[in-house]
């Protein structure tokens, strides 16, 4: 193990520094399974057969007994302890009653439902995270207009405590929200032409083995409306499934294919929307690795009418544009239904440019 050799290679100069006791452990520990711990004591210190160890998990604290598995080798000794089977999540590990460093690690659970939900990867993701791209772009088309979008997802159950720890499959449930607005910048009052509100509730799975034929999937419910009344009111409710495939694309790049298939539970004031949107959003994304990130999303309706949204982003620091952070974002739209209000309207193609926080 690399971490073991690193522990054995700790220079003696470390021993003269604070803290007095040094511990080295793997960054990932599996709950219910033994793990090794290298302990380096100050000169002349006794390395006992057992050492008390403190593990902090969120707001809880666990005390373990680390038992020596080798004889002392100078000021070093290897110990072994077992993490409780029901523990899980980000944690810190340190010695009790000794002035030692604290190790940051992740405690992963190896139960069936964890593998089913992809919970191990969820441990590395914050509770609130990005979902679809977040950007602001503008361009000319019979006067200047802008399009901007905000999007996020929130994991409903904390995987390190409460129900999320007791029932790992719950860690796969998310609330998502995406809002897209079209803004008329040329009119006198600068009105918003239309805004699409898309709250969703879904269950997310990600592959944890090398056997599954897909890399991930989402299954859920999504509501979309524009919040208007009368003739301008638009509402759609769908059930969707989104499988995910990813491939390495050389030089740190990645190719991603994530089609989103859906069925309409209700179509509200737009009963013929399937003729323009169809039943699948075909999405392909290519990250060239520190270069351009390109995403294409296409729809084909049952009447042969559809749309194409093409987006390209690159980090502004790569373009040396000074203190501006984020991504340069280019966007091209062509076809029907750039907004839900105009789901059955085809306008001239549109090119916009701006900045993105999430490409």
Would you state the pLDDT for residue 14?
A: 41
Q: Which fold would CATH assign to domain 2-108?
A: Immunoglobulin-like (2.60.40)
Q: What is the mean pLDDT of residues 89-100?
A: 88
Q: Note the pLDDT tens digit of each residue in 39-72.
A: 999 988 889 999 999 998 766 788 889 999 999 9
Classify domain 112-358 at the CATH class level: mainly beta
CA-closest candidate to residue 25, choices 85, 88, 79 = 79
pLDDT of residue 156: 92
User: In the chain, which segments carry CATH 2.60.40.10?
Assistant: 2-108
Token pair recorded at residue 181: 């607005």
Model confidence pLDDT, tens digit, residues 131-181: 999 999 999 988 999 999 999 999 998 776 677 667 778 889 999 999 999
Which segments of the chain belong to CATH 2.40.230.10? Answer: 112-358
Q: For residue 338, what are the β-bridge partners? A: none
pTM of the model: 0.67
Which residues are within 8 A (CB) of 331 and not within 5 positions of it... i.e. 6 or more apart? 135, 137, 139, 147, 309, 310, 311, 312, 350, 351, 352, 353, 354
Question: 115: pLDDT confidence band, cut at 50, 70 and 90?
Answer: very low
Reply yes or no on whether the pLDDT at 208 is more than 90: no
């Amino acid at each position: 193990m690399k971490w073991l050799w690193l522990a054995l290679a700790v220079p003696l100069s470390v021993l003269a520094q604070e803290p007095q006791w040094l511990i080295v452990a793997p960054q990932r520990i599996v709950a219910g399974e033994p793990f090794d711990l290298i302990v380096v004591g100050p000169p002349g210190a006794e390395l006992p057969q057992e050492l008390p160890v403190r593990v902090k998990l969120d707001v809880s604290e666990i005390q373990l007994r680390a038992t020596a598995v080798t004889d002392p080798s100078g000021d070093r000794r290897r110990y072994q302890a077992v993490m409780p089977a029901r523990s899980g999540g980000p944690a810190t590990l340190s010695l009790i009653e000794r002035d030692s460093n604290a190790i940051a690690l992740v405690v992963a659970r190896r139960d069936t439902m964890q593998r089913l939900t992809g919970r191990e990867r969820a441990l590395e993701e914050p509770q609130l995270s990005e979902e679809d791209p977040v950007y602001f772009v503008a361009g000319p088309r019979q006067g200047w207009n802008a399009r901007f979008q905000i999007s996020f997802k929130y994991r409903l159950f904390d995987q390190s405590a409460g129900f999320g720890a007791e029932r790992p499959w719950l860690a796969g449930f998310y609330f998502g929200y995406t809002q897209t607005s079209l803004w008329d910048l040329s009119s006198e009052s600068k009105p918003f032409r239309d805004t699409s509100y898309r709250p969703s509730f879904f269950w997310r799975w990600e592959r944890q083995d090398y056997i599954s034929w897909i890399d991930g999937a989402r299954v859920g419910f999504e509501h979309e409306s524009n919040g208007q009344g009368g003739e301008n009111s638009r509402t759609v409710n769908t059930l969707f499934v989104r499988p995910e495939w990813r491939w390495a694309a050389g030089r740190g790049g990645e190719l991603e294919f994530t089609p989103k298939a859906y069925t309409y539970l209700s179509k509200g004031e737009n009963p013929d929307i399937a003729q323009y949107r169809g039943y699948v959003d075909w999405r392909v994304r290519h990250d060239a690795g520190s270069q351009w990130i390109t995403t294409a999303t296409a729809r084909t309706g049952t009447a042969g009418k559809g749309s194409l949204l093409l987006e390209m982003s690159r980090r502004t620091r790569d373009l040396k544009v000074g203190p501006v952070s984020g991504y340069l974002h280019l966007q091209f739209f062509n076809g029907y239904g750039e907004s839900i209000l105009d789901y059955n309207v085809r306008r001239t193609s549109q090119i916009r440019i701006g900045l993105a926080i999430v490409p």
